[in-house]
């Protein structure tokens, strides 16, 4: 008969009744039989972390299936039922798509690193002349995404604009999307001008580019919480041009995020850190940056799901539901503590 679920759906703020049909939700407005798996409260279509790297504990570690499972379970137990992995040390294993106990995964394949622009040996090291072909290969082998490391050190050149533009065009022609790591002014500028689908971090992003981002649909994933966690350590470093550049970029980033939202850019929540399952903290950082609480919540839930191609809580949607006893918009502190989690039509907590 499936599970019965009743509650106030966000963001619509309308009470609805659903029944699960396998891994799909069906609206069930007529009185029915059976107990409710969720009866009352506030319903979200599962939290989303759009920038997480499950599968390794450290950069020197090889990708490990057992670690990958554990990290996904940490996400799930926090109510994160969909993740995007913009770069991993190895391609995400195929069994992921068939495991009903773990969150849905959208993979971007391996990091694509041209010489001098990433930790050696961690991603897929390629020459600049091989970037276009490698990007298409990773996007088509994964879930339609690829990840290009667009810049690296603050005083070294980013991937050239012409090359990044050619890469984006080729991936788009193959039906894929491109995420670009960027933490320098040049790297962020090139990612926007090349038409990338998402800027990962976006440190030193020129605010004059925000209107263009909004018009072409380039999203910003600022990963504020991981930068905030490292800020005190950076301040304690010996003075250097590199330290000062990083701190200046971090100081400006919250204001850039607020301006991006006001310009109509899609701002999304990603953690880029361990432990997994902490996207609620990233949502709170988006509020601190100036996003309205509902927009910050959507960045970690329904807006992120829509951006990744999944609907919210409607008839025919995936049966992924996270329930709360209190409204997480009015009480954002509850976001990390769901009262019930339904994943792929099964109660997991």
Is pLDDT of 302 > 80?
yes
Residue 90 pLDDT? 87
* CATH for 4-44+312-347 (3.40.50.720, 1.10.760.10, 2.30.40.10, 3.40.50.300): 2.30.40.10
* Cα–Cα dist 167/197, whole Å: 12
Reported confidence tier of residue 60, pLDDT bands at 50, 70, 90: confident
- Listed in order, the ranges of the chain carrying CATH 2.30.40.10 are 4-44+312-347
Reported confidence tier of residue 31, pLDDT bands at 50, 70, 90: low
Q: What is the share, in percent, of the chain residues with pLDDT greater than 90?
A: 92
- Listed in order, the ranges of the chain carrying CATH 3.20.20.140 are 47-307
Edge-to-edge strands, sheet with 104-107: 47-49, 80-85, 104-107
Residue range 151-180: mean pLDDT, rounded: 97
Q: What is the pLDDT of residues 219-260, one digit of tens each?
A: 999 999 999 999 999 999 999 999 999 999 999 999 999 999
Residue 186 pLDDT? 98
DSSP H or E stretch at residue 160 = none
Residue 32 pLDDT? 66
Is pLDDT of 1 > 80?
no
Reported confidence tier of residue 89, pLDDT bands at 50, 70, 90: confident
Is pLDDT of 30 > 90?
no
Token readout for 268 is: 């999304």
Residue range 109-129: mean pLDDT, rounded: 95
Is pLDDT of 33 > 80?
no
Instruction: Name the nearest CA neighbour of 152 among 123, 132, 181.
Output: 181
Q: What is the dotted CATH code of the domain comprising 47-307?
A: 3.20.20.140
* Cα–Cα dist 9/172, whole Å: 34
**346 contacts: CB under 8 Å, gap ≥ 6:** 100, 101
Residue 59 pLDDT? 81
Residue 35 pLDDT? 79
Exposure of 172 by Cβ count < 10 A (0-12 exposed, 13-18 middle, 19+ buried)?
A: middle
* Cα–Cα dist 311/327, whole Å: 21
Residue 58 pLDDT? 87
């Amino acid at each position: 008969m499936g599970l019965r679920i009743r509650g106030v759906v966000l963001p619509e703020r309308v009470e609805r009744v659903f029944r699960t049909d396998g891994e799909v939700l069906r609206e069930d407005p007529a009185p029915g039989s059976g107990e409710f798996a969720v009866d009352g409260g506030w319903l979200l279509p599962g939290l989303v972390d759009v920038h997480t790297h499950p599968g390794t504990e450290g950069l020197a570690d090889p990708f490990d299936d057992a670690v990958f499972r554990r990290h996904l379970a940490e996400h799930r137990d926090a109510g994160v039922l969909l993740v995007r992995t913009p770069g991993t040390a190895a391609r995400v294993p195929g069994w992921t798509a068939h495991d009903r106990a773990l969150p849905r995964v959208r993979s971007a394949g391996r990091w694509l690193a041209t010489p001098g622009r990433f930790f050696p040996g961690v991603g897929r090291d390629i020459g600049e002349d091989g970037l276009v072909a490698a990007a298409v290969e990773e996007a088509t082998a994964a879930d339609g995404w690829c990840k290009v490391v667009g810049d690296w050190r603050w005083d070294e050149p980013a991937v050239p604009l012409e090359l990044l533009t050619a890469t984006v065009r080729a991936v788009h022609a193959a039906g894929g999307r491109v995420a670009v790591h960027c933490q320098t002014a040049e790297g962020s500028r090139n990612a926007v001008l090349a038409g990338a689908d998402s800027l990962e971090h976006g440190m030193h992003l020129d605010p004059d580019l925000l209107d263009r981002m909004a018009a072409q649909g380039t999203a910003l994933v600022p990963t504020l919480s991981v930068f905030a966690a490292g800020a005190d350590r950076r301040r304690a470093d010996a003075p250097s041009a590199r330290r000062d550049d990083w701190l200046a970029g971090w100081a400006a980033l919250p204001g850039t995020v607020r301006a991006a939202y006001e310009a109509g850019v899609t701002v999304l929540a990603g953690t880029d850190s361990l432990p997994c399952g902490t996207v609620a903290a990233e949502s709170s950082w988006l509020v601190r940056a100036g996003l309205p609480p509902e927009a910050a919540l959507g960045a970690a839930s329904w807006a992120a799901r829509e951006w990744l191609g999944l609907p919210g809580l409607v008839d025919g949607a995936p049966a992924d539901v996270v329930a709360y006893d209190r409204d997480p918009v009015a009480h954002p502190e509850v976001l990390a503590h769901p009262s019930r989690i339904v994943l792929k039509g099964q109660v997991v907590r």
